[in-house]
């Protein structure tokens, strides 16, 4: 379905509310199904259970690849831009991509992977990553992609949670000027992963690696010895497609499960409508495939729609802060989808990095992952879009699978820092602390969704109760997003940020409890509390308040060792920006840490701490304020 005008939007929205099943069935029938569904939707948000396109059979890779390889075999599917701008980009057509996916699918089969098995993918942003993901989907294996910035410990926790049997990785990775030892990290992880039987290693950096006989195999030699054809496994619409781990308010990340049919329908529908993709447009999503944005809008959404998708191995600041603009220029990118943190960071380097870059191919700009502040919005609009590219500020979550609130490019009137309006098919509600619906405009509340959409999270792997209690119990009968939200006088939505203990650091979701657990595992640490504070580039920074067994001097080894511990346990992305050693934490008489006070202190709002009289030891606050000022 294609919405082209604001009238279309309002009409589609109305239809989607009045008769959601008919609305989604019409979109779903645009895809290739091996067997039609018998019922569009079964659902309950009370005893959480959602099933879309019941008994429908399909394979998502037939829709991503075969359809297009038949119609336009030589059309580019993936453009790969290497880390080093001196290296050659790679252009992979639909025909070739299908071929490579089928070969690797046969490799997985040869190593015993079958439908329903879990496969862990830990790779840099190279074409083999997309190939590995799609090869799993081809044979019905459930992929669990782990972002390359996670530590060995994080990898093994995730592998063990979902009992992966096979891992796909590379010898090494390069990001900017850094070399990253991928296989070595996997080896460290596997010491604690008895479920893993095989490891497939793609050669990329030629970093020396250890290869264990009978367990470890080279990608390049494996693909030589298999057939080029691989039939697409018949999957039920509700069979799991992938697991993606994401942080919540507890110490343990959850494995968000998405299923084949609904995820396919929703990612393609949102891709085409939000970005107003036209055949032949070059689409560049800068997110890593290790995050949901990379899954939905680098791999699946664009390929389902037969688009040209750009994958960039490196970072926006290498070799200099003009790299993204070089890529736009070089590949004539029409649609750029990136995160506010990247915009803010590049903004800081100044306009000289835009000199001589031809950005005239750009038609649409997108933003995702965190609220975009007005300054960054205007910079993006004026200097990248040259005032002629609509900006789509897309709000969504790992759990929603695809974009939920966003302007439709060139159709919805935009407003800086507003995600604007829900897509047709998305039913929002704002609720107050008591769970009562907040009606009308010019209001603030907690953002809920009251009706299922096709790519809603189905479960958290291995623990359905956790899924129910995390998302469907705060406000019974509604999906609770964890975000605060304003609806302005025009009925436009503006996300104000998380209302739980989840941080958003450079667009990466990090649970404060996870960071605290990591810090607390460091020797000599008694207790810690982690909060976020506004950070000019990262959006949020991480401020850790730590109680140690022994008194510490200002630049003690302790702080550096804590950073190393967090890096080891979670990954460098979770390293606190500030560590403040304190002698106590503000606690209530029942022993609960008053995070509200710590947040205020971290934000620098020292004079507005609210009522501290109920604290066990009010004096501790003065000491923490003093320490924070000195930091």
Stretch of 104-112, 389-397, 450-458, 562-570 lying at the interface with ligand 7RM (CB under 6 A): 389-397
Residue 297 binds ligand 7RM (CB under 6 A): no
CA R_g for the chain: 24
Near ligand 7RM by CB under 6 A: residue from 504, 512, 540, 565: 504
Question: Please, what is the minimum distance in Å from the beta carbon of residue 398 to ligand 7RM?
Answer: 3
Near ligand 7RM by CB under 6 A: residue from 169, 293, 512, 528: 293
Chain residues 464-493 in contact with ligand 7RM, contact rule CB under 6 A: 481-483
Near ligand 7RM by CB under 6 A: residue from 368, 449, 505, 573: 368
Stretch of 60-68, 188-196, 396-404, 514-522 lying at the interface with ligand 7RM (CB under 6 A): 396-404
- Output the furthest CA–CA distance in the chain (Å, rounded): 73
Residue 395 binds ligand 7RM (CB under 6 A): yes
Helix 20-28 / helix 6-18 crossing angle, nearest 10 deg: 120
Residues in the chain: 631
Stretch of 87-95, 182-190, 290-298, 326-334 lying at the interface with ligand 7RM (CB under 6 A): 290-298
Chain residues 211-250 in contact with ligand 7RM, contact rule CB under 6 A: 246
Q: Which pair of structure tokens corresponds to residue 482?
A: 């964890």
Secondary structure tally for the chain: helices H, strands E: 20, 30
Q: In terms of DSSP H, where are the helices of 111-240? A: 127-139, 152-162, 182-190, 219-224
- CA–chain centroid gap for 461, Å, is 17
Question: Please, what is the minimum distance in Å from the beta carbon of residue 245 to ligand 7RM?
Answer: 11
- The secondary structure of residue 269, as a DSSP letter, is H
What is the three-class DSSP state of 73? coil
530 phi, psi to nearest 5 deg: -120, 130
Question: Please, what is the minimum distance in Å from the beta carbon of residue 484 to ligand 7RM?
Answer: 9
Q: Are 52 and 452 in contact (CB under 8 A)?
A: yes
In which element (H, E) is residue 50 found? strand 49-54
- CA–chain centroid gap for 154, Å, is 16
Stretch of 21-29, 314-322, 369-377, 424-432 lying at the interface with ligand 7RM (CB under 6 A): 369-377
Residue closer to ligand 7RM (CB basis): 495 or 579:
495
Residue 384 binds ligand 7RM (CB under 6 A): no
Near ligand 7RM by CB under 6 A: residue from 40, 141, 495, 581: 495
Q: Pseudo-torsion of CA 626, 627, 628, 629, nearest 10°?
A: 50
Near ligand 7RM by CB under 6 A: residue from 67, 103, 487, 498: 498
Q: How many residues bind ligand 7RM, per CB under 6 A?
A: 22
Q: Comparing C-alpha atoms, which of 79, 101, 78 is closest to residue 88? A: 79
Residue closer to ligand 7RM (CB basis): 93 or 459:
459
Q: Which pair of structure tokens corresponds to residue 514?
A: 């996870």
Residue closer to ligand 7RM (CB basis): 193 or 495:
495
Q: Around Cβ 547, how many Cβ atoms within 10 Å?
A: 15
Binding site for ligand 7RM (CB under 6 A): 246, 291-293, 368-371, 393-398, 419, 481-483, 495, 498, 504, 509
């Amino acid at each position: 379905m294609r919405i082209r005008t604001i009238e279309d939007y309002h009409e589609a929205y109305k239809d989607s509310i009045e008769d959601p099943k008919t609305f989604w069935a019409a979109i779903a029938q645009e895809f290739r199904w091996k067997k039609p569904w018998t019922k569009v939707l079964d659902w309950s948000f009370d005893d959480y259970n959602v099933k879309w396109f019941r008994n429908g059979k399909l394979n998502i890779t037939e829709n991503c690849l075969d359809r297009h390889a038949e119609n336009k075999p030589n059309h580019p599917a993936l453009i790969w831009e290497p880390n080093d701008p001196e290296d050659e980009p790679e252009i992979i057509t639909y025909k070739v991509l299908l071929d490579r996916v089928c070969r690797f699918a046969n490799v997985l089969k040869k190593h015993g992977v079958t439908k329903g098995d879990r496969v862990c993918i830990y790779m840099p942003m190279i074409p083999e990553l997309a190939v590995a993901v799609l090869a799993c989907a081809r044979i019905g294996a459930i992929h669990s992609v782990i972002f390359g910035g996670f530590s060995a410990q994080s990898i093994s926790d995730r592998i063990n949670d979902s009992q992966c049997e096979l891992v796909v990785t590379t010898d090494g990775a390069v990001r900017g000027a850094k070399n990253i030892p991928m296989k070595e990290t996997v080896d460290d992880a596997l010491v604690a992963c008895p479920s893993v039987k095989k490891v497939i290693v793609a050669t990329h950096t030629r970093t020396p690696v250890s290869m264990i006989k009978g367990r470890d195999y080279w990608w390049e030699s494996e693909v030589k010895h298999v057939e080029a054809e691989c039939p697409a496994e018949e999957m039920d619409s509700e069979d799991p497609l992938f697991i993606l781990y994401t942080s919540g308010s507890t110490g343990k990340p959850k494995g968000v499960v998405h299923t084949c049919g609904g995820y396919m329908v929703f990612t393609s529908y949102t891709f085409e409508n939000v970005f107003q993709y036209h055949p032949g447009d070059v689409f560049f999503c800068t997110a890593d495939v290790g995050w949901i944005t990379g899954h939905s809008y680098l791999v699946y959404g664009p390929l389902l729609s037969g688009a040209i998708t750009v994958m960039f191995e490196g970072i926006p600041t290498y070799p200099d802060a003009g790299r993204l603009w070089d890529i736009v220029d070089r590949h004539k990118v029409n649609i750029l989808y990136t995160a506010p943190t990247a915009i803010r960071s590049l903004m800081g380097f100044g306009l000289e990095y835009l000199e001589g870059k031809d950005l005239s191919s750009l038609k649409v700009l997108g933003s995702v992952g965190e609220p975009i502040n007005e300054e960054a919005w205007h910079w993006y609009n004026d200097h990248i879009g040259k005032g002629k590219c609509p900006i789509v500020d897309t709000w969504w979550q790992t759990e929603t699978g695809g974009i939920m609130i966003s302007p439709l490019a060139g159709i919805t009137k935009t407003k800086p820092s507003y995600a604007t309006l829900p897509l047709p098919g998305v039913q929002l509600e704002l609720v107050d602390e008591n769970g009562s619906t907040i009606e009308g405009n010019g209001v603030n509340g907690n953002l809920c969704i009251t009706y299922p959409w096709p790519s809603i999270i189905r479960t958290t792997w291995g623990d359905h109760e956790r899924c129910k209690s995390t998302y469907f119990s705060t406000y019974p009968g509604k999906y609770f997003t964890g975000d605060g939200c304003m609806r302005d006088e025009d009925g436009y939505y503006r996300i104000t940020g998380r209302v739980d203990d989840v941080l958003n650091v450079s667009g990466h979701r990090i649970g404060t409890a996870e960071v605290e657990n990591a810090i607390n595992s460091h020797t000599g640490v008694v207790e810690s509390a982690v909060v976020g504070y506004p950070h000019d580039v990262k959006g949020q920074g991480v401020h850790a308040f730590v109680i140690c067994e022994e008194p510490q001097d200002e630049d003690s080894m302790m702080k550096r060792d804590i950073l190393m511990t967090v890096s080891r346990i979670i990954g460098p992305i979770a390293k606190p920006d500030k560590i403040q050693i304190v002698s106590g934490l503000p606690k209530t008489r029942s022993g609960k840490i008053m995070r509200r006070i710590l947040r205020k202190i971290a934000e620098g709002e020292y004079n507005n701490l609210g009522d501290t009289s109920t604290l066990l030891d009010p004096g501790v606050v003065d000491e923490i304020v003093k320490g924070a000022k000195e930091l």
